[in-house]
Amino acid sequence: MTLREPKSMEECFYFTNRTLGSKGQVKAWVYRPKCPKCGKGYLRKPIVKGKIQKKAKEYVCPVCGYKVPCSEIDKNLKIEIKYTCPFCGKSGETTTEYKLKNFKGTKAYVFVCEHCGKKIPLAKKMKDIEGYFP
């Protein structure tokens, strides 16, 4: 499986590039879905007075103005991940659901290394899971 990396941040809901422990690294992103009505624009949160409404309950197409509830879109989003495992040192690619899970008391996107089978958490920015990574 070969994942296509985003060309710009306009394509993404979420993007991160960080290190895990001493030898692990991860790059992860979630693509914005195309508008189901016009097929030209990408859905995003509405912009009011030049600011993005972070707690909006719907996504809007900037081209045609079509509105879709967040709950309908969020359940179909996938996070794509390219990583170097901090445990075995091998590289891999995977896709998992875009949903925060509770991992050792910390909210994180969790995926499994395809080589060694260890769970690897991708915690929110600047959050560290004490003593998990070598």
Summarised one tens digit per residue, pLDDT across range 96-108 is 999 999 988 888 9
Please report the pLDDT score of residue 69 as a whole number. Answer: 92
How far, CA to CA in Å, does 74 sit from each of 14, 69, 85, 86?
A: 12, 9, 27, 29
Residue 80 burial by CB count (10 A; 0-12/13-18/19+): exposed, middle or buried? buried
Report pLDDT for 128.
65
For the beta carbon of residue 20, count every other beta carbon within 10 angstroms. Answer: 21
Token reading at 25: 């690294």
Give CA angle at 5 (64, 44), nearest 5°.
Answer: 25
Mean pLDDT, the chain, rounded, equals: 88
- State mean pLDDT over 65-91: 91
Mean per-residue pLDDT for 101-124?
Answer: 89
Task: Give dist(CA 37, CA 30) in Å, integer.
Answer: 21
Identify whether the C-beta of residue 22 lies closer than 8 Å to the C-beta of residue 133.
yes
